[in-house]
């Protein structure tokens, strides 16, 4: 990275003055729809993302467990999914969404350390045809974040962020719960499965798999596990309650689906070792 484009997060300290540890994810480049002009709404362009996460990693250093830190490989996939699915109009929306997502409290099916603050920068390298490189950097803390919450029959929904033309949600399916067979006629929906215990269309689905639901496509989730399971959901436009139309599965069954994995294709060196102690 050239000096003029260097990423410089601030120093963040605890209340007693000790600097927090920092995990950085630099130079994540995603081809996505971002911008307000007609050409930007039609053709994808590269967006470069730099993220600094401020947290305490001492428990991970001692215990050697990913659940006590942040799995940056999976996080990179989740952020790539958000940038691709939301189709932001403004850089301001993109950075705010990323900040709100990484600062959200962890869930039981995806244990990780709580991130106390985050610095996020997004850059549009090609926006001005090489004459200049526009970017936006913001800094937010977990303490200032307020997330909406809705109780549902299947569990609950965390409202991560709602902006112009999109909404980002965490669907948290309780043990034994299900998101019944349903269809949308107005919203387009993209979903990334975060937990490892869900059934989709009555078939097991791996964590890190993403699916796009076009209008009119029947789909459902079931959670037969003993742990709450989470799905990261992007609706375009933001969620419309009247457009969540439940229906019975057709007699011939639900159509099978093929998703796309956003997680690294890696395996622990020693299965069952403490470093990979995540459900």
Inter-residue contact 110 to 194 (CB < 8 Å): yes
Single out the residue of 68, 77, 104, 61 nearest to residue 277, CA to CA: 68
Tokens of 138: 């913001």
Catalytic residue among 124, 152, 174, 203: 124
Residue 124 annotated to the active site: yes
CA distance 12 to 31: 31
Q: 177 — alpha (psi -120 to 50), left (phi > 0) or beta?
A: beta
CA distance 226 to 243: 30
Inter-residue contact 55 to 66 (CB < 8 Å): no
Active site residues: 124
């Amino acid at each position: 990275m050239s000096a003029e484009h260097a990423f410089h997060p601030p120093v963040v300290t605890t209340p007693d003055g000790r600097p927090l540890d920092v995990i950085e994810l630099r130079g994540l480049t995603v081809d996505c729809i971002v911008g307000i002009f007609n050409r930007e709404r039609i053709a994808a362009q590269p967006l470069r993302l730099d993220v600094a996460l401020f947290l305490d990693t001492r428990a991970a250093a001692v215990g050697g467990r990913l659940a006590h830190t942040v799995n940056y490989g999976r996080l990179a996939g989740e952020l790539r999914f958000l940038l691709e699915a939301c189709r932001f109009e403004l850089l301001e929306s993109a950075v705010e969404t990323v900040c709100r997502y990484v600062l959200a409290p962890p869930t039981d099916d995806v244990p990780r350390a709580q991130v106390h603050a985050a610095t996020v920068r997004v850059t549009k390298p090609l926006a001005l045809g090489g004459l200049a490189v526009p970017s936006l950097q913001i800094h937010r803390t977990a303490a200032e974040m307020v997330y909406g919450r809705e109780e549902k029959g299947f569990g609950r929904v965390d409202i991560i962020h709602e902006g112009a033309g999109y909404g980002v949600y965490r669907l948290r399916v309780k043990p034994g719960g299900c998101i019944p067979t349903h269809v949308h006629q107005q919203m387009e929906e993209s979903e990334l499965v975060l937990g490892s215990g869900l059934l989709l269309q009555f078939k097991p689905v791996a964590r890190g798999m993403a699916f796009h639901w076009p209008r009119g496509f029947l789909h459902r989730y079931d959670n037969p596990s003993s742990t709450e399971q989470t799905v990261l959901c992007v609706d375009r436009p933001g969620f419309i309650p009247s457009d969540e139309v439940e229906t019975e599965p057709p007699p011939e069954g639900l159509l099978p689906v093929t998703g796309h994995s956003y997680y690294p294709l890696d395996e622990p060196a020693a299965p069952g070792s403490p470093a990979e102690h995540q459900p």
